[in-house]
Amino acid sequence: MVWDKLKLFFDSTMFAPHGICLQWEPELLAVHIASDSIIALSYFSIPFALAYFVSTRRDVEFGWVFWAFAVFIMACGVTHVMSIYTLWVPAYGLEGVVKIVTAIASISTAALLWPLIPYLLKVPSPGELRHAKAMLEAEGQQRREAEARLSHAQKMEAIGQLTGGVAHDFNNPLTVISGNLEIAERTLKRWNDNSRDKLVQLISRARDGASRASILTQGLLSFARKQPFNTEVIDVNALITGMADFFQRALGENMVLETHGAPGLWHTETDPHQLEVALLNLVVNAKDAMPAGGKLTVETSNSQVDGDYAKTSPDAREGQYVLITVTDTGTGMDKQTRERAFEPFFSTKETGHGTGLGLSQVYGFARQSDGFAEIRSERGKGTTIKLFLPRAKSTVATTGQAAANREPRIAEDLRGRGQWVLVVEDDQHVRNFVTETLTDYNYRVAEASNAEEAAQAFSGRGNDIQLLLTDVVMPGKNGRLLSEELLKLNSKLKVVFMTGYSRDIIARDGRLGRGVELLQKPITQHDLAAKISNVLAPDETESLVDQ
C-alpha cells in the first residue's frame, strides 16, 4: 500500500508541465531557463569554492560550518535545475522531494549557525589582526632591546669581577713599591753625597709612576663596585658649590662653567670623596671633548623614576633620586662610542692621553651608591651625563665640604708619642714597609703575620697596645674577627683596617659601617701616618683632614 502511494506521488501522467502555464511562449521559456541555469551554476560553484578553502586552510576555526553551507547551497542549486526540468516534465513529486531536502539542509544550517554567532563575533577582524601584529612586533622589538640591555649589563658585571680581582691583587705590590720608594727618598735626603739630588729625582719619578698605577687600581675597584664606601648624608648643592672654583681651574680660561642648584634639593647618602672624584672625572672628560673651548653646565634636580622610565635603562630602578646632570658643548659621541663609554680602559683619546677609567669610575660609583648613570650624546651635538643618586631618608646633611678646599696636614704634625701599634699583615713586604714607616714616625710596633700570632703578641703586651692595624683578608681568621676578639680583651683598643677592598668582610654591599676606620691600599707613608695620628688622638686632630 505504501508502494502504491509512492508511485502515485511520483506519477506525472496526470499533470501538465509548467511550460503550459507559460503557453510555451519562447521568450518566457528562455528567460526562465537562462535565469535558473545561471543561478544553478553559481550555486554549484560556491560549494566547490568553500570545499577548496576549508581543505586548504585546515587551521580555520569552525570549518564544519563551511561544509554545512556547501550542502545547503548545493541543494538550492538542484531546486533551480528542477525548475527547468518541470517546464517540460511535470515531475512535481521529485521536485517536492528536492525542496524537502533543501529545507532540511537550510534549517539545519540555520540551527547550527545561530549558536555560533557569539563565538564568531569574537573572531578578530582584519583591523584587529593588523593591530595585534603591530603590537607583537613592538613587543618583539622591546624584548630584543631588553635582551641587549641584559647582555650589556652581564658583560659589564663580568668585566667588573675581572677588574676588581686584578686591582685587588695589584694593591699589595704597589704598596711595597711606592712605600719603599718613599723610604729610600727620605733616606737619600739625609745624605750629603753629590749624587743625592739625581737619585732623589729618579726615585721621585718612580714614585709618581706608582702613584699613577694606584689611581688605576682605584678606578678599577670603583668600576667593579668593590671600593669601600664611607657613606654620609650629602647636600649635593653645597658640595658642587664648594668645588666650582676647582672645576673652573680644571677647565681652563677658554671654557665657561655654569652651575645650577635646584631649590629644595633632596639629600643623598653616599661617599662624598667618591662623588667628588666622579664629578671631577666628568669635568675632565668634558674638557677633553671641547678642545676649542665651550660651555660646561652642572645642574641638580629632584627626579622621580617610574616603571616606564626604568624600562629604557638596563640599570635604572623605580624610586626617588637626586639627579646631577653634566652637559658639555663638545664633539659628542656616535652610537658605538656611546654604548662602550662606561667600559674600563675604553677611550677615544690618543695613547698616553688618558686611562679610559674616568667614565667607568662614574658608572661603578653610581651603581655602588644604589643609583645609576646614563649617557645622552650625538656626534657634533655635545654630551649629557646624568648621575642618579638615591634620595636619603635623612633631611639633615652631614657633609658638603669639597675636597678641593681641604688642606693637607704636614709631616711634622703626624709624629707619634711612642704609642704601641700591633701590625697584622700576611704579606711580609707590606708588613715590613708599614713597620718601618711607623717606627720612623716615632711609634713602637709589634708584628704578626696572622690572627693567631696577633693574639699571642697582644696577650704578651697586655694593655700597652693602643691600636690594632690589621689587614682584612688573611689566611685563617680575617681581620674583622680578630678585631672583635681583641676588643673583648680591651674595649679601649683602637682598630684600623687595611685592605684592597672591603666587600663582604667589613662592609655590607661595599658600605663601611659607622666607626669603621679604613686604609685603602696601596698605602703611602703620609696616609698611614695621618690615619694613625687621627685615630690615636681624635680630640686633637678631628678638625684636620687626611690628604
Band of residue 188 on the pLDDT scale cut at 50, 70, 90:
low
Which residues are CB-contacts of 243 (< 8 A; sequence separation ≥ 6)?
276, 279, 280, 402, 403, 404
Checking if the pLDDT of 420 tops 90, the result is yes
For the segment 351-410, what is each residue's pLDDT rounded down to a tens digit? 444 444 457 778 878 888 888 888 888 888 899 999 999 999 877 766 544 444 444 455
**All three cell numbers of 498:** 687595611
For the segment 462-478, what is each residue's pLDDT rounded down to a tens digit? 678 999 999 988 888 88
Residue extents of the structural domains in the chain: 2-123, 128-223, 232-405, 411-541
Backbone phi, psi, residue 395, to 5°: -100, 5
Band of residue 202 on the pLDDT scale cut at 50, 70, 90:
low
Would you say the C-alpha torsion 263, 239, 325, 266 has a positive or negative sign?
negative
Looking at per-residue pLDDT, the higher value among 432 and 422 belongs to 422
> How far does the chain reach from its first CA to its final CA, in angstroms?
126
Amino acid (one-letter) located at 356? G
Distance CA 183, CA 190 (A): 11
Paired with 255 in beta bridges are 294
Looking at per-residue pLDDT, the higher value among 6 and 307 belongs to 307
Band of residue 237 on the pLDDT scale cut at 50, 70, 90:
very high
**All three cell numbers of 375:** 649617557
Band of residue 266 on the pLDDT scale cut at 50, 70, 90:
very high
Q: Which of 403, 395, 389 lies closest to 315 in space, CA to CA?
A: 389
The helix/strand count (H/E) of the chain reads as 17, 14
Lowest-pLDDT range of 16-30, 96-110, 340-354, 476-490:
340-354
Averaged over 210-222, what is the pLDDT? Answer: 54
CATH class name, domain 232-405: alpha beta
pLDDT of residue 421: 94
Distance CA 367, CA 371 (A): 5
Superfamily of chain region 411-541: Response regulator (3.40.50.2300)
Q: Which of 1.10.287.130, 3.40.50.920, 3.30.450.20, 1.20.140.10 would CATH assign to domain 128-223?
A: 1.10.287.130
Backbone phi, psi, residue 298, to 5°: -115, 120
For the segment 38-94, what is each residue's pLDDT rounded down to a tens digit? 888 888 888 888 788 777 777 777 767 777 878 888 888 888 888 888 888 888 778
**All three cell numbers of 244:** 666650582
pLDDT of residue 223: 44
Q: What CA dihedral angle connects 178, 184, 189 and 192, to 10 degrees?
A: -160
Q: Could you count the other beta carbons within 10 Å of the beta carbon of residue 104?
A: 13
pLDDT of residue 178: 66
**All three cell numbers of 408:** 693637607
CA-based diameter of the chain, in Å?
Answer: 153
Checking if the pLDDT of 304 tops 70, the result is yes
Are 499 and 471 within 8 A, CB to CB? yes
Distance CA 393, CA 387 (A): 19
pTM over 0.75: no
Q: For a pLDDT cut of 90, what percent of the chain falls above it?
A: 17
The label of the residue with cell 630584543 reads: 144
Radius of gyration of the chain measured on its C-alpha atoms: 44
Checking if the pLDDT of 155 tops 90, the result is no
How many angstroms separate the Cα of 367 from the Cα of each of 160, 212, 280? 11, 24, 18
Which residues are CB-contacts of 227 (< 8 A; sequence separation ≥ 6)?
218, 221, 271, 274, 364, 365, 368, 501, 510, 520
Averaged over 258-272, what is the pLDDT? Answer: 91
The Cβ-side half-sphere exposure at 357, using a 13 Å CA radius, reads 21
Supply the DSSP string of 341-394, one letter for each residue.
TTSTT---SPTTS--S-HHHHHHHHHHHTT-EEEEEE-TTS-EEEEEEEEBPS-
pLDDT of residue 351: 42
Rounded to 10°, the helix 2-10/92-122 angle is 90
Checking if the pLDDT of 248 tops 90, the result is no
3-state secondary structure 272-290: HHHHHHHHHHHHHHHHHCC
For the segment 309-320, what is each residue's pLDDT rounded down to a tens digit? 766 676 788 899
For the segment 160-186, what is each residue's pLDDT rounded down to a tens digit? 555 555 555 556 666 666 666 676 666
Are 425 and 479 within 8 A, CB to CB? no
How many angstroms separate the Cα of 261 from the Cα of each of 51, 241, 398? 75, 8, 18
Are 519 and 498 within 8 A, CB to CB? yes
For the ranges 30-34, 401-405, 505-509, the maximum mean pLDDT occurs at 30-34
